[in-house]
Each structure stands twice: as C-alpha cells, then as structure tokens.
C-alpha cells in the first residue's frame, strides 16, 4: 500500500492525497477514510475530492499532528465493503446544437463523430465525487481514446444538462453556468432539484451509463 501525502491546508484543515493517477481503488479508500474521519472528535467537516479528501477541524481543540497520524493509520486499513452501487441511465442527445464540440473532440482523438458517441455510450462510469456546482458529478471511467483537453477559452454560459469531456473525465452540468469542458451532447434529466430528497440525483459510488436519446448532427 502506497502512503498518501498528508499536508496542512491553512491552520484548520488537512489534505490527504492519494498517489496519482486517480483510480476507483484509490477513490474507494478516500471514501472509507472520509467515513472514519467523520467520527473523530473535533472534526468539523470532511470533504472527499478526486483522489483526495480534506479534513476541517477545530484548531483550538484538535492537534493537527495527531489528526495527520490518524489519517495515515486509517489509510492503511482495508476499505470496508460498500453497499451495492445504484445504476443510473442518462439519455443524451449528441451533436448539433446540443453538442457543439463533438466535431472538435473527434478531430482531437482522430475518431469520427459516430465513434466518439459509440465509445462514450459504451463506457461504464463511476461517480468519484460531487463538486464545482450542486449535483455536478465527476465521473471516472472515460475511455482513454476520448481524453480531450478543456477548451482554451471557456464559455460564459453552458446550458443545464450539457454533457462534456474535460481531460480524462466526463460529466454533466446540472445548471447553466460558465464552463470550459468540451460539450458533446445534452440530457433532459434533472441532476439537481432542491425539492427532491436528496436534491442531487447522483451520489459518490453510483454507476452511470449514457444512452443514445438522439442525434442532431
């Protein structure tokens, strides 16, 4: 087991960072350590991220070096089995006005647009963590052939439901916002609804499949 890097983040937080690259095995360990840390005294908040977690503590009651040792010890313990993951299908309309960057992704990867769509819908994705905006799920499992850098110039407004590729990941914008991912399609599925319990459709550990809802190419 490779030891994580543990370092301070200001005066009231510690970051526990797994060695790169980000993998499902590392992420499962992040989840396990996060679950343990939530039970420790003087811990205010635990925030799992991609290949890391941040532990926020009360600096007047907790000792940072002791917490760092506890993080290191927790990391060495085998991750406990998680409940069976939910499987969620997301129908996507690819290309055209819904996926204006599909052609750019095809050009970067050397694949034609049909092959990009085929590989994207054949992938088996896992929600690593939620971030950026409420309900935005960072998904691991993107086919390496589809890895495409973010846009050099981010868009001022990305429509809600847009499905994009950013580097080695794919994800869905739950709400309209600025963004720099390569947009290849759009879904009508609501990723975030404040009236729903829980409000976010996707949760860490969920498995996601994209299905073909149509094409506007």
24 Cβ contact list (under 8 Å, min separation 6): 126, 128, 140, 141
Q: Compute the distance between CA of residue 157 and CA of residue 180 in angstroms, rounded to an integer.
A: 10
List, as own/partner pairs, every contact residues 59-67 make where C-beta atoms lie below 8 angstroms and the sequence separation is at least 24, other chains included: 59/11, 59/12, 64/8, 64/14, 67/14, 67/40, 67/43
Q: Which band of pLDDT confidence, cut at 50, 70 and 90, is reported for residue 91? A: very high
144 and 48 share one domain: no
Length of the chain, in residues: 217
Of 167, 159, 154, nearest in space to 191 by CA: 159
- Point out the domain boundary residue: 44, 76, 108: 76
53 and 96 share one domain: no
Has residue 82 been placed in a domain?
A: no
124 and 22 share one domain: no
CATH number, position 110: 2.40.100.10
Has residue 109 been placed in a domain?
A: yes
Kindly report which listed range (82-86, 104-108, 114-118) carries the lowest average pLDDT score: 82-86
19 and 101 share one domain: no
Q: What does the pLDDT look like over 179-211, one tens digit per residue?
A: 999 999 999 999 999 888 889 999 888 999 999
61 and 96 share one domain: no
Q: Compute the distance between CA of residue 22 and CA of residue 15 in angstroms, rounded to an integer.
A: 15
- Point out the domain boundary residue: 55, 76, 97: 76
Q: What does the pLDDT look like over 22-51, one tens digit per residue?
A: 888 888 899 899 989 999 999 999 998 888
Q: What does the pLDDT look like over 130-145, one tens digit per residue?
A: 888 888 999 999 999 9
């Amino acid at each position: 087991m490779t030891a994580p890097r543990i370092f301070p983040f200001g005066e009231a937080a510690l970051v526990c960072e797994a060695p790169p690259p980000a993998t499902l095995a590392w992420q499962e360990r992040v989840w396990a350590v996060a679950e343990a840390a939530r039970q420790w005294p003087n811990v205010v908040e635990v925030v799992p991220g991609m290949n890391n977690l941040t532990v926020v503590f009360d600096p007047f009651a907790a000792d940072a070096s002791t917490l760092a040792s506890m993080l290191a010890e927790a990391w060495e313990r085998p991750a406990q089995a998680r409940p069976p993951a939910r499987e969620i299908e997301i129908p996507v309309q690819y290309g055209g006005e819904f996926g204006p960057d599909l052609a750019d992704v095809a050009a970067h990867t050397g694949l034609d647009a049909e092959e990009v769509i085929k590989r994207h819908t054949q992938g088996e994705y896992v929600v690593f963590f939620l971030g950026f905006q409420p309900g935005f799920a960072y998904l691991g499992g993107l086919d390496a052939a589809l890895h495409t850098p973010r846009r050099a110039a981010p868009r001022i407004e990305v429509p809600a439901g847009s499905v994009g590729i950013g580097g080695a990941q794919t994800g869905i914008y739950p709400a309209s916002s600025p963004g720099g991912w390569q947009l290849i399609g759009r879904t009508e599925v609501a990723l975030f609804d404040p009236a729903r319990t829980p409000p976010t459709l996707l949760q860490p550990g969920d498995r996601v499949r994209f299905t073909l809802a149509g094409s506007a190419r």
